[in-house]
């Protein structure tokens, strides 16, 4: 039990570290955009930030998934297949809903920056 939960926490921590790396890349793109000096490590991402955003979101919500799943496993540790599936489904619902809660404002600010209605 303890080793399984520790593995989930380690995976969540690694994914959180990856989120931080992608945020650094994104910040580097904002600082480099419009400058005249070469940025070969960032050129691909400056041209299209989605190359950073997509794996960043996967890492962020993957980290949240493993954190919540570790909590569910710690609260109600059970090796029954059906119980584990229920915990996975409950974790997925929480993670998906946490993203959905922010979706209106997330897209609204993107639209605003693109000169579209909020």
Q: What is the pLDDT of residues 81-106, one digit of tens each?
A: 999 999 999 999 999 999 999 999 98
Question: Containing domain of residue 51, as a range?
Answer: 2-113
Q: Nearest-CA neighbor of 64 among 102, 28, 26, 30?
A: 102
Whether 118 maps to a domain, the answer reads no
Whether 99 maps to a domain, the answer reads yes
Residue 35 pLDDT class (50, 70, 90 cuts) = confident
Q: What is the pTM of this model?
A: 0.87
pLDDT (average), residues 17-46: 92
- Does residue 42 carry a pLDDT above 90? yes
Residue 24 neighbours by CB distance under 10 Å: 11
pLDDT of amino acid 34: 77
| % of residues, the chain, pLDDT over 90 | 87
Question: H or E element: which one contains 39?
Answer: none
Whether 59 maps to a domain, the answer reads yes
Residue 10 pLDDT class (50, 70, 90 cuts) = very high
Whether 23 maps to a domain, the answer reads yes
Residue 33 pLDDT class (50, 70, 90 cuts) = confident
Whether 52 maps to a domain, the answer reads yes
Tokens of 32: 């480099």
Work out how many domains the chain is built from and give that number. 1
Whether 28 maps to a domain, the answer reads yes
- Mean pLDDT over all residues of the chain? 94
């Amino acid at each position: 039990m303890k080793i399984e939960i520790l593995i989930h926490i380690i995976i969540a921590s690694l994914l959180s570290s990856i989120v931080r790396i992608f945020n650094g890349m994104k910040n580097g793109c904002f600082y480099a955009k419009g400058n005249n000096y070469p940025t070969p490590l960032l050129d691909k991402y400056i041209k299209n930030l989605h190359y950073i955003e997509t794996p960043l979101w996967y890492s962020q919500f993957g980290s949240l998934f493993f954190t919540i799943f570790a909590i569910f496993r710690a609260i109600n540790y059970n090796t029954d297949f059906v119980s584990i599936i229920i915990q996975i489904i409950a974790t997925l619902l929480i993670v998906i809903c946490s993203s959905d809660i922010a979706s209106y404002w997330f897209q609204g600010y993107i639209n605003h920056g693109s000169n579209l209605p909020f």
